[in-house]
Amino acid sequence: MLYKRGSKWWFKFKFAGRTYREPAKTSSKSLARDVERVRRREIEAAYSRVPKRRAPRIIEVEARDWLSLKRATLALSSFSIAESGLRLHLLPKLKKRLLSDIDAHTISRYQRQRLKEGASPKSINLEVGTLRALLRHHELWTDALRRDVRPLKVRDDHGRSLTVDEERRLTDACRSSRSPSLSPAFVVAMQTGLRYSELRMLRWSQVDFLNAMVTVGDSKTAAGTGRVVPLNRPALNELKQWATRVPDRQSDHYVFPAERVGHGGAYARDPSQPIGSWKTAWARAKRIAQVTARFHDIRHTACTRMLEGGVPLSVVATILGWSPATTAIMAKRYGHIGDTARRAAVAALDKSKVKSGERGHKMGHSLTISRKEGLVTR
């Protein structure tokens, strides 16, 4: 029922044995009746445990809240990929849209636009994956989106293995870099196959000089996290030499600390923070060495050389942190086996065939002689 108190209308009704008496805060009777109707619906929904729907907000606001929520649960590398993908690409193109208005056509246009900008299919898939996680969080990843949105095809042959001469030229260029940490990082990466993020986030507590090994911290995969990677002589010597340059290091300090680099070299080091990136220093080293390669191609090189050296695939997978389910795929992607190794493999088959034939001929001959003598040997 509606009634007046002064110039304002109030409403009163009963629901589930309880009386609700509240002000409509209006002098219009028709508006007060609408307020009463809305309030009754809210109480009925709460009683029936129907979740209250929040008003849709633009993607920029929802993305900020989602990142704040995921900061503590996502791996550092995954959070960095999500944050940079939103900040650099997704939000500039979609920030004025309501999250609920994003459909398959919106995502398809985004994919085409990023391809025109020269982005790789893998990068675009990571960005769309972040958008998908955001939509799923708000229960907006509908059956239509699941049906119509497809990842772009990624080439498995992307990447390459460095030649010995390219490695030598890059080694020299890295040693002359103004960033002193680039050279040890390059050598350790070449000798262990550690991922870029694993190397960057390495702490001294993870380096065991006595047993010549490093224990990887957070990694891209569950199989990679916590794995132990042995240090061969070049990697161990490089880390020992690097350690002498930071005599005041603590176990929780980063092996490659944050630094600023100027014409006089590195300064303002902060061992409590990891180095941000070797991007500029690596680009300069490649120009000097006249080599075209990604830093990730160092990992391709380590994998290829282990496989060509006859290291079993299962051992390579353990060292590089591949999950058992993807080992064969990763070996195809990372193992750039050269023509020399393939020819040696075929030659080995030929030699085994000859030896097997000779062995079979001798066994047959001895069996014939034994039968003539009245004996059967096996």
Tens of pLDDT, residues 250-276:
999 999 999 887 776 677 789 999 998
User: If you search the block for the tokens 């196959």, which residue do you land on?
Assistant: 193
Digit-coded pLDDT (tens) for 268-315: 789 999 998 899 999 999 999 999 999 999 999 999 999 888 888 888
Would you state the pLDDT for residue 368? 41
Count of Cβ atoms closer than 10 Å to residue 189 Cβ: 21
Assign residue 179 a region (left: φ > 0; alpha: ψ between -120 and 50; beta: otherwise).
Answer: beta
Q: What CATH architecture is 60-148?
A: Orthogonal Bundle (1.10)
**Cα separations (Å) of 364 from 46, 165, 354, 376?**
89, 52, 16, 12
Lowest mean pLDDT among 36-50, 120-134, 228-242: 36-50
Q: Where are the domains of the chain?
A: 2-47, 60-148, 164-334, 340-378
Name the CA dihedral angle for 101, 105, 109, 111, rounded to a multiple of 10 degrees: 100
Is 270 strand, coil or helix?
strand
User: If you search the block for the tokens 């009163």, which residue do you land on?
Assistant: 12
The span from the CA of 311 to the CA of 204, in Å, is 28
Dihedral pair phi/psi, residue 123, rounded to 5°: -65, -40
Confirm if 91 and 59 have CB atoms less than 8 A apart.
yes
**pLDDT exceeding 90 applies to what percent of the chain?**
52
Q: Quick one: tokens of 377?
A: 């040997």
Q: How many CA atoms lie within 13 A of 26 on its CB side?
A: 12
Digit-coded pLDDT (tens) for 53-64: 556 678 999 999
Is 7 strand, coil or helix?
coil
Nearest Cα neighbor of 209 from 229, 244, 239, 188 is: 239
User: Model pTM?
Assistant: 0.61
CATH superfamily name and code, 164-334 = Intergrase catalytic core (1.10.443.10)
Would you state the pLDDT for residue 100? 87
Q: Quick one: tokens of 239?
A: 């880390």
**Residues contacting 134, CB < 8 A, separation 6+:** 59, 62, 63, 66, 99
Mean of the pLDDT values across residues 242-250? Answer: 91
The amino acid at residue 36 is: E
Confirm if 268 and 260 have CB atoms less than 8 A apart.
yes
Would you state the pLDDT for residue 375? 36
The span from the CA of 191 to the CA of 179, in Å, is 20
Would you state the pLDDT for residue 177? 92
